[in-house]
Amino acid sequence: MRVASRFLTSALLGAALIAPMVNTGCAEHHYYRVDDPYYHDSHRWDPDEDAAYHRWEGETHREHREFRERNGDDQKAYWDWRHSHPGGDHDRH
């Protein structure tokens, strides 16, 4: 009985230590939705949208900043750019 109790305690402690690492590893696969109030749609912010956003920053000579931290004028400029490029609204919903 004592051996089983030690094993169970060790297994639970190991699981508690590993759980945050497993959860963090999966975080890269999650995405979120961003509403585009100018075009009345929403976009899935995934690796493809992130790549387009980085391309826009480069083409418009802007320093990198998270999209959600940009002011409304910059966000509108991004959506204008995004919708004017081929495939710019491929994920409209």
- Shared domain check, 48 and 22: no
Bridge partner list, 43: 34
pTM assigned to the model: 0.61
Are residues 47 and 8 part of one domain?
A: no
- Between CA 24 and CA 36 the distance in angstroms is 29
pLDDT of residue 92 exceeding 50, the answer is no
Domain for residue 36, yes or no?
yes
Q: What confidence score (pLDDT) does residue 86 get? A: 63
Does some domain include residue 89?
A: no
Cα dihedral sign for 57, 67, 19, 22? negative
Whether residues 25 and 35 share a domain: the answer is no
Mean pLDDT of 3-20: 64
